[in-house]
Structures are given as structure tokens and as C-alpha cells.
């Protein structure tokens, strides 16, 4: 699905939200059903060592956002990408036709992060991030309000509904724009 005359044949979709809300699961399932290309920014950064340091407090590498942008620029211009990352304010606004912020009930999120072995501080900070809608607010500040949507992501039924909804949206976008 390459770009023709500067126009994308398929949309770019951003999946964002607090760690543990189900972005990766949704992204991979969407890629399988739509034929779009799934990109985990975390995996991309790991493979290309796109880091500018290490955060001892959170026990994780610090993303080099400029290098990530450089790495993705060509792919994003062709369209048909599903990008998964817990932050969204550093991506160029022009990259995405739609942004989905996944939201998860605090109890469910707590259990998911605890099962990943998150430290108490990291766990508490991420649950607070979800409580205060931090990533939703970030998305609204970074993109046009009319392309930002919140989706519940608590159960397998939510996952199925989200996949179906986004797949239908994608099919309609392709039909309307080609």
C-alpha cells in the first residue's frame, strides 16, 4: 500500500495509552485483519538502540524521540501504518488520520502491570496516569480533537469490539480516499 502522487492509499493509525492497556494486542490483531503494518515504537527503539540514556528511577531506557521520528518518517509517508506507543506528543501531527487512546479500569490495569513485575513506584505512577487521563489529554493537545477517540480496553469483548470498529473505519477510509 504505497503512496501515489503524494497521497496515501491507507491511513496511519496511532494506538496510545498508559502501559498495560492493551495497545500491542490490539495493534497486532488489527494488522492481521486489515493488512496494515504494525509498528511497536518500543521494539523499534530496542532494535535500533534509539535511546538517549537510562532512567534509573523507572528502570528503563529513555527514548531518543528525534531518532525515532527519523527512523519512521519514510514509512509514515507511505501510509498503512499502525503505530503503538504510550506517548504521542512528539509524533508529527500530519502522520496520523486517527488516534485511539485505550483506557483500562484501574483494578484491571494494576493487575496487568503487577504481573509484568513493575516496581511499586512505576506501578503507582502508571495507574495515576490512567486515573488522571494523562495520555488522553496529551492526545487532545497534540492532534485535532475530531480524530482522537477513547476506547475501553478491559475485556476480550472490548478487544474484539475495538478491532471490529477500527477495521470498519479503516475500510471506509480506504474507500473514501482512493
Which residues carry a binding-site annotation for ATP?
20, 22-25, 116
Q: What is the phi/psi pair of residue 18, to 5°? A: -55, 145
- Going by the annotation, the residues of the binding site are 20, 22-25, 116
Sole residue written with cell 504510550:
86
> Hey, how many other C-beta atoms are within 10 angstroms of the C-beta on 156?
9
Instruction: Identify how many contiguous H helices and E strands the chain contains and give both numbers.
Output: 7, 7
Rounded CA separation 133/129 (Å): 6
Sole residue written with cell 507511505:
78
Amino acid at each position: 500500500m504505497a503512496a501515489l502522487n503524494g497521497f496515501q492509499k491507507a491511513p496511519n493509525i496511532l494506538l496510545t495509552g498508559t502501559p498495560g492497556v492493551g495497545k500491542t494486542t490490539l495493534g497486532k490483531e488489527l494488522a492481521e485483519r486489515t493488512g496494515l503494518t504494525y509498528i511497536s515504537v518500543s521494539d523499534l527503539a530496542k532494535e535500533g538502540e534509539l535511546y538517549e540514556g537510562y532512567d534509573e528511577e523507572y528502570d528503563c531506557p529513555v527514548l531518543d524521540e528525534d531518532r525515532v521520528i527519523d527512523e519512521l518518517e519514510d514509512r509514515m509517508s507511505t501510509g498503512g501504518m499502525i503505530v503503538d506507543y504510550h506517548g504521542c506528543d512528539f509524533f508529527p501531527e500530519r502522520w496520523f488520520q486517527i488516534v485511539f487512546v485505550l483506557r483500562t479500569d484501574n483494578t484491571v490495569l494494576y493487575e496487568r502491570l503487577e504481573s509484568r513485575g513493575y516496581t511499586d513506584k512505576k506501578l503507582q505512577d502508571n495507574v495515576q496516569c490512567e486515573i488522571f487521563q494523562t495520555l488522553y489529554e496529551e492526545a487532545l493537545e497534540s492532534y485535532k480533537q475530531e480524530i482522537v477517540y477513547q476506547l475501553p480496553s478491559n475485556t476480550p469483548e472490548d478487544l474484539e469490539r475495538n478491532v471490529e470498529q477500527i477495521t470498519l473505519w479503516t475500510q471506509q477510509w480506504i474507500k473514501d480516499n482512493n
